[in-house]
Amino acid sequence: MEYLSSLNHEDTRLAVACEREFLAVLDGNCRTPIAAYAYRDKDGNCSFRGLLASPDGSKVFETTRSGPYSFDDMVELGKDAGHELKAKAGPGFFDSLQ
């Protein structure tokens, strides 16, 4: 574990946790046109951008978030952003992605 922990890049681990939570809320998979990008901004906070699109690109929903660069905050940030886009897309949006 000591060797493996030396390979960890903490900023990246936290960014990926945020992005994965966003994808999980939207049930992201290979057929889901979604994008997530979390990074540490110049002030040391988390900046997040998320996007959900219809397969043909006719509908695109986007969101942004910012908050503390800590694991718990970033997980919640990703979840919240995912729920926002899921609500914007509305019922039945994901039916065409099956």
Q: Summarize pLDDT for 75-89 with one digit per residue, the tens.
A: 999 999 999 999 999
Domain ranges of the chain: 5-89
Average pLDDT, stretch 35-43? 97
Average pLDDT, stretch 27-36? 84
Q: Which residue has better confidence, 97 or 59? A: 59
Res. 39: pLDDT tops 90: yes
Q: CA-CA distance, 83 to 15, in Å (whole number)?
A: 18
Kindly indicate the confidence band of residue 96, based on its pLDDT and cuts at 50, 70 and 90: low
Q: CA-CA distance, 44 to 22, in Å (whole number)?
A: 21
Q: Which residue has better confidence, 31 or 96? A: 31
Average pLDDT, stretch 54-65? 92
Please identify, in words, the CATH class of the domain defined by 5-89.
alpha beta
Q: CA-CA distance, 25 to 19, in Å (whole number)?
A: 10
Q: Where are the beta strands (DSSP E) in the chain?
A: 34-40, 46-53, 60-67
